[in-house]
Amino acid sequence: MTIVADTRPAGAAPSLPTDTHLKVTPRRVLRSEWAKLWSLRSTWITLGLGLLFLLAFGTIAALRYKSMLNSGQRMDPDFADATSYSLALFGVPFSLIALGVLGVLTASGEYTSGMIRSTLAAVPRRLPVLWSKAAVYGVIAFVTGAVGALAGFLLSSGVLSGTAAGMSLSDGGVVRGLLGAGLYLGLVGVIGVALGTLLRSTAGGISALVGTFLLVPGLMSLLPKSWRDDLTPYLPSNAGESIFALHHSTGTLSAGAGLLVLLGWTALALGGAAYRLMRSDA
């Protein structure tokens, strides 16, 4: 903590009042980023989509499961071990795209519009902007994800109540798992902010995000099997999914380990973003 003394030469501007309460604080930068986020229509639309994907796809999956159950036909192998919990979270990858893209946009939009010049003129130390954006958006994405997961679970449990797949909130690990799904989506949001800051481009940021979470897992099949089994659990997507998985097999990380690994990836992305922000001209 440094004490800032006013070194302005006396009488430099005699007629101006000196407002000593005006200064940049971390809290104020947070407040500013919060206001920026909610003052754009794209925020409302994309958060709405993220929520809708969780609710709608979970409910549709549950309805489809129930109709198969009622018709008495043979169950799809995909649905064999399904529970209302696993069906409710069917929409997570779709919600992930919406929330991740919004994360990218909150940062890349500053660069594509030129707003970043106003932002950094107000906060020339720069890093508080990145931390605030990541924190504000991370919390919002977490809340959206957790609320969506919880509501989706209640809906699909309602649909499937009385069947073998029906679960309730009181079942072991369910509440923790639903919060875990929210945490996963929150961290994806933060990674989106970091990628947007790092790449300064909406198209680039979204490509990197989609590539990391949807394409890279598929590419793992190109690796020799021994490597694949060692590496796959540590991918951001796989680590993230193990945070909210109810059953952990030998090939996956535990919820805690998954969270730690995903936090590591998040820190890495933020570190890259911070480096670019400080080193490159705006």
Partner 1 sequence: MIEARQLTKRYGDKVAVDGVDFTVRPGAVTGFLGPNGAGKSTTMRMIIGLDAPTAGTVTVNGRRYAQHSAPLREVGALLEARSIHPGRSAFDHLMALAYTHGISRARVSEVIEMTGLQSVARKRAGAFSLGMGQRLGIAAAVLGDPQTVMLDEPVNGLDPEGVLWIRNLLTGLAAEGRTVFVSSHLMSEMALVADHLIIVGRGRVLADTTVRDLVLQAGGDTVVVATDDPAELRRVLVGPGVEITGHPGSEQLTVTGLPAREIGRKAAEHGLVLFELTAKTVSLEEAFMELTKESVEYHAASTTGRAA
Q: Is 29 in the site for partner 1 (CB under 8 A)?
A: yes
Q: Is 1 in the site for partner 1 (CB under 8 A)?
A: no
Question: Based on CB atoms, which residue is closest to partner 1, 125 or 176?
Answer: 125
How many Å apart are CA 107 and CA 196, to the nearest integer? 5
Q: Is 7 in the site for partner 1 (CB under 8 A)?
A: yes
Question: Based on CB atoms, which residue is closest to partner 1, 117 or 176?
Answer: 117
Residue of 35, 169, 231, 267 that binds partner 1 (CB under 8 A): 35
Asked if 227 and 167 count as a contact pair (C-beta separation under 8 A), the reply is no
Instruction: Locate 60 and state its tokens.
Output: 């549709």
Residue of 15, 70, 71, 221 that binds partner 1 (CB under 8 A): 15
Q: Is 120 in the site for partner 1 (CB under 8 A)?
A: yes
Task: Say which residues have a Cβ less than 8 Å from residue 44's Cβ, sequence separation at least 6.
Answer: 38
Least distance to partner 1, CB of residue 145, Å: 24
The site that binds partner 1 (CB under 8 A) totals a number of residues, namely 43
Q: Residue written as tokens 């481009």?
A: 201
Q: Is 41 in the site for partner 1 (CB under 8 A)?
A: yes
Residue of 110, 200, 206, 208 that binds partner 1 (CB under 8 A): 110
Task: Say which residues have a Cβ less than 8 Å from residue 82's Cβ, sequence separation at least 6.
Answer: 61, 65, 165
How many Å apart are CA 66 and CA 43, to the nearest integer? 35
Q: Is 225 in the site for partner 1 (CB under 8 A)?
A: no
Q: Cα 58–96–174 angle (5° rounding)?
A: 50
Of 54-62, 123-131, 166-174, 203-211, the segment contacting partner 1 by CB under 8 A is 123-131
Instruction: Find the farthest-apart pair of alpha carbons in the chain and give their distance in angstroms, rounded.
Output: 89
Q: Is 70 in the site for partner 1 (CB under 8 A)?
A: no
Least distance to partner 1, CB of residue 111, Å: 11
Length of the chain measured in residues:
282
Least distance to partner 1, CB of residue 74, Å: 51
Number of C-beta neighbours around residue 171 at 10 A: 15
Of 16-24, 53-61, 196-204, 232-240, the segment contacting partner 1 by CB under 8 A is 16-24
Return the sign of the alpha-carbon dihedral for residues 193, 248, 165, 63.
positive
Question: Based on CB atoms, which residue is closest to partner 1, 54 or 129?
Answer: 129
How many Å apart are CA 94 and CA 178, to the nearest integer? 16
Of 59-67, 108-116, 221-229, 236-244, the segment contacting partner 1 by CB under 8 A is 108-116
DSSP 54-89: HHHHHHHHHHHHHHHHHHTPPPPGGGTT--HHHHHG
Task: Say which residues have a Cβ less than 8 Å from residue 157's Cβ, sequence separation at least 6.
Answer: 84, 85, 88, 166, 167, 168, 169
Q: Is 127 in the site for partner 1 (CB under 8 A)?
A: no
Q: Is 22 in the site for partner 1 (CB under 8 A)?
A: yes
The residues of the shown chain that bind partner 1, judged by CB under 8 A, are 4, 7-9, 12-17, 19, 21-25, 28-29, 31-32, 35-36, 39-42, 109-110, 113-118, 120-126, 281-282
